Amino acid sequence: MSIWRQLTRGARAIVRASQADRELDEELRQYEDEAAAEYEGKGLSPDAARRAARLDVGSHLATREAVRESAWESVVMTVLRDLRYAARRLRRAPGFTIISALTLALGIGATTAIFSAVNPILFAPLPYPGASRVVSIWDARTETTPVAVTFGTFRELAERAHSFDALSAFKPWQPALTGDARAERLDGQRVSAGYFRALGIAPVLGRDFDARDDVVNGPNVAIITAGLWRRRFGGDPSVVGKAATLSGGLFTIVGVLPPGFDDVLAPTAEIYAPLQYDASLPSDGREWGHHLRMIGRVHDGLSIDTARNELIAIAAHPVVEFRRAPWAGLENGLIVNSLQRDVSRSVRPALLAIFGAVLLLLLIAVVNVTNLMLARGAERRGEFAMRAALGAGRSRIVRQLLIESLLLATVGGAAGVAVAAGGVRAVVALTPPGLPRAAAIGVDGAVLLFALAVTVTIGVVVGVVPAFQVSRDLVVGLREHSSRVTGGHRFVRRALVVAEVALAIVLLVGAGLLLRSMRHLFAIAPGFDPSQVLTMQVQIAATKYRGPDAASRFFAAALERVTAVPGVTAAAWTSQLPLSGDFDKYGAFFESSPNELRADDQSALRYAVTSRYFDVMHVPLRRGRLLDDRDAQPNVPVAVLLSESLARRAFPGGNAIGQHMHLGATNGPWFTVVGVVGDVKQASLAINEPDAVYVPAARWEYPDYVRSLVVRTRVDPSSLAASIKAAIWSLDPDEPIVRVAAYDDLVTRSEAQRRFALLLFEAFAVVAVTLAAIGIYGVLSGAVGERTREIGVRTALGASRGDVIGLIVGQGLALAVAGVGIGLAIAAVASRVIATLLFGVSPLDPATYAVVAVALIVIASVACLLPALRAARIDPIETLRV
């Protein structure tokens, strides 16, 4: 009750200050009248009575002040008054205000935008209940990278482990959805029954998968995301139980996922179906392939460590009930990590580096504005001295300065959030494809809170240094009454400029190293010629084209039509496309040296290609012959080509031609090596993984229903995209075509993460250098202003214009050189952060450091020149005539 009264009365006093004053006045007048009446009653004349009453009541103004001061809202009102005053001061210096606010807006905006991009991935918990208990599980088979698990391993762990609420194995699935609309290839997952329980998500419509769905040859059922539900099923609530045609098969939709569901394991997945592997684990089937990812939800109350220890103990102690394949013996144990860590693993270095870079930028912005504030503080020394003389306490003046800087920061912060809102869109557009949680990037509550925290911190930081300076000045300056008490200012301002240059150098070095890495990367020959090549991926329905023959016939017919398109010189199909993200490896076993290559678990990339592939891609033949149309005939031995690295390693003597080998399954007829071709980069330009085997597409035992088309063109490849798609669809309009791209673009995209980091570093570095240059310019202009007299004296005593310019430029360059030196030292340490993003360049690359240092000193010289020229124009007579 009384708190309510306090608040309402206080608020009313703030909002209606004048009315409160009027009421008090009226009450005092009435008091006075009563008192006067009483004095009159005692016999005083009306005049005397009035005087006596006035004397009693005293000054209305003082009473009003006392009443006001006694209430809590007086603090608010004082702050409001200070704010109004600060706003007036800032308005009166528009140049300073605009530059400072813009600088802060840029810094806060960039930082906030980057924070909004990295927050959902690096910092915020995954969007699942109890997300910290969700783990990913990998086979630790090789030392270097986590390996996907086999279904056999999943089965064993699911039966033997007790630390989990749910475990699930899953793999990508890309069914074609056909129906009324144009065939569309969906991204999806085949998942074992516990998938959504492991994530802690339940469908909002229909039901989750259960054990009866996830059996070999089980029912065709699917769960769809809310997005797909709205897009393709009109958001119809009765969709559950309806059928959809997926890659030619009829699937019953049994559930719809909640609208906000974000699958970090497959950000673009829209449809899920049960894995339906064979629990009897046939030894020659896919059940023992290392191609499943696995997640688990640890029991509430158990730590990830406990669960990890249990799994590792299980791995170390095989039991007879769970026979293991030789290549899935779990001898090296399992890798168990929190899912959050797992999904951010690949992007973490880049995102942390970018976040670090933007914080540097923010720091530079803060330093710059602090410097401007200091310069202004120096100009306003008179004003503060006046206020102090009029009785303002030191704390009052410091408070005033802090309120000014907070107001400035708030203006900058508000503009910064606007910058961030725009910047976020740019960041999202730039993000590498497949970035987990990209959908969650945006200016949300956490981001606003971050911006607010940054703004307030900056407001205090940029205010504290000048406030401290001013308050020291008040002590010294008032006593000495001199306008030249500037030694402290000068030192602080110069130190700040040095800091600014140093920070800019760190950013520049980072940008330079990344730039050189990109140059190195794109200078690497991928092993094929991507120019003038168009590529697209085509998927056909296994149910419609049953068996290898039907699939081969379709792809052969399609190839004929594509080749007939004007502008096409050659075309071919391949099961996987270099630098596209495809990744398909099989064990390679050679008849002559089976043990050697098996022992170190050698696997090779498998390319099932049609005969013109090498003509289109310009992959060079090294020895033997290429594949031709005769190799596609069913009655000849299977002819294969090896990449030269694999040939050299398997047959150091150089006699690869004519050798026999198996790829994958070892129970079929032998393949015969007929040729050796050049190495090709598959996963990334940066990764050397040259072992490859090329098989005639028609001879691979299982047909590849998903293939990439490569087309060499006479004209701009992109211009043929539509007609080539039309040529394929003229054969069968139900088969989706995706990933249509000129090959050059695909290659560029394959380095998207580095490019992302590079672009942002470049942008930040440009801004940083600009700010540093402005900082140098500002300090030197101030110095020239302060030293006008001195320069005048020097000129009068015979210093030439050149001397004066040299003096000023030298002063600026001294700052720049100090900053460059410190910056290079910091960069040498800090560049280790981006080491994983670099390629072919040491984090200490001397050329980069040298170029950056020279570039900054050149820019600094330019920034020095303007004030120096002004100094040179100083007229000694003018300045000395005082």
Partner 1 sequence: MGDSNTDVIQGTLDLLILKTLSLEPMHGFGITRRVEQISRGVFKVNPGSLMVALQRLERAGYVNAEWTQTENSRRARIYSLTRSGRKQLDEETADWNRRAAAIARLLKAEG
Note the residues at the interface with partner 1 (CB under 8 A).
1-2, 5-6, 9-10, 23-24, 26-28, 30-31, 33-35, 38, 56-58, 62-63, 66-67, 70-71
Helix/strand/coil for 672: strand
Minimum CB distance to partner 1, residue 84 (Å): 25
Minimum CB distance to partner 1, residue 759 (Å): 59
Nearer to partner 1, 71 or 421 (CB): 71
Q: Residue 82 forms beta bridges with which residues?
A: none
- The answer to whether residues 736 and 176 touch, using CB atoms and an 8 Å cutoff, is yes
Crossing angle of helices 348-379 and 381-389, rounded to 10°: 60
Nearer to partner 1, 57 or 415 (CB): 57
Nearer to partner 1, 58 or 634 (CB): 58
How many CB atoms neighbour CB 496 within 10 A? 21
Instruction: Compute φ and ψ for 644, nearest 5 degrees.
Output: -65, -35
Nearer to partner 1, 9 or 399 (CB): 9
- The answer to whether residues 602 and 563 touch, using CB atoms and an 8 Å cutoff, is no
Nearer to partner 1, 26 or 47 (CB): 26
**DSSP assignment, residue 123?**
I
Per-residue CA distances from 448 to 403, 438, 457, 470 (Å): 21, 18, 14, 33
Per-residue CA distances from 543 to 247, 354, 547, 608, 733 (Å): 7, 47, 9, 21, 15
Minimum CB distance to partner 1, residue 390 (Å): 25
166's tokens? 């749910």
Minimum CB distance to partner 1, residue 21 (Å): 12
- Positive or negative, the Cα torsion across 566, 570, 574, 580? negative
Ramachandran sector of residue 770 (left: φ over 0; alpha: ψ -120 to 50; beta: rest)? alpha
Nearer to partner 1, 62 or 429 (CB): 62
Nearer to partner 1, 11 or 386 (CB): 11
Nearer to partner 1, 31 or 586 (CB): 31
Nearer to partner 1, 58 or 129 (CB): 58
The DSSP code sequence of 861-875 is HHHHHHHHHHHHT--
Nearer to partner 1, 29 or 345 (CB): 29
> Distance between CA 567 and CA 544 in Å, rounded?
31
Is beta strand 603-609 parallel, antiparallel or unpaired with respect to 621-624?
Answer: unpaired
Minimum CB distance to partner 1, residue 43 (Å): 15
Burial class (CB in 10 A: 0-12, 13-18, 19+), 387: middle
Minimum CB distance to partner 1, residue 41 (Å): 11
Nearer to partner 1, 70 or 635 (CB): 70
Minimum CB distance to partner 1, residue 66 (Å): 5
Amino acid at 781: S
| Location of structure tokens 């170390």 | 316
> Which residues neighbour 852 within 8 Å (Cβ) at sequence distance 6 or greater?
505, 508, 509, 512, 824, 827
Q: Which of 575, 642, 578, 635 is nearest to 610 (CA)?
A: 575
Nearer to partner 1, 10 or 587 (CB): 10
Minimum CB distance to partner 1, residue 121 (Å): 51
Minimum CB distance to partner 1, residue 10 (Å): 8
Nearer to partner 1, 78 or 563 (CB): 78
Minimum CB distance to partner 1, residue 11 (Å): 12
Nearer to partner 1, 68 or 230 (CB): 68
Q: What's the distance, CA 687 to chain centroid?
A: 22
Minimum CB distance to partner 1, residue 22 (Å): 12
| Location of structure tokens 């703030």 | 14
57's tokens? 């009541």
Nearer to partner 1, 36 or 763 (CB): 36
473's tokens? 């000045």
Minimum CB distance to partner 1, residue 50 (Å): 14
Nearer to partner 1, 63 or 252 (CB): 63
- Cβ burial 394-432 (10 Å sphere, 16+ → b, else e): eeebbbbbbbbbbbbbbbbbbbbbebbbebbeebbeebb
Amino acid at 526: P
Minimum CB distance to partner 1, residue 200 (Å): 50
- Cβ burial 155-192 (10 Å sphere, 16+ → b, else e): bbbbebbebbbbbbbbbebbbbbbeeeebbbbbbbbbb
- Cβ burial 111-143 (10 Å sphere, 16+ → b, else e): bbbbbbbbbbbbeeebbbeebebbbbbbbbbee
247's tokens? 């890659």
Minimum CB distance to partner 1, residue 1 (Å): 5
Minimum CB distance to partner 1, residue 31 (Å): 5
- The answer to whether residues 447 and 493 touch, using CB atoms and an 8 Å cutoff, is no
Minimum CB distance to partner 1, residue 67 (Å): 5
> Which residues neighbour 554 within 8 Å (Cβ) at sequence distance 6 or greater?
540, 545, 731, 732
Nearer to partner 1, 24 or 869 (CB): 24
Minimum CB distance to partner 1, residue 42 (Å): 12
How many CB atoms neighbour CB 806 within 10 A? 15
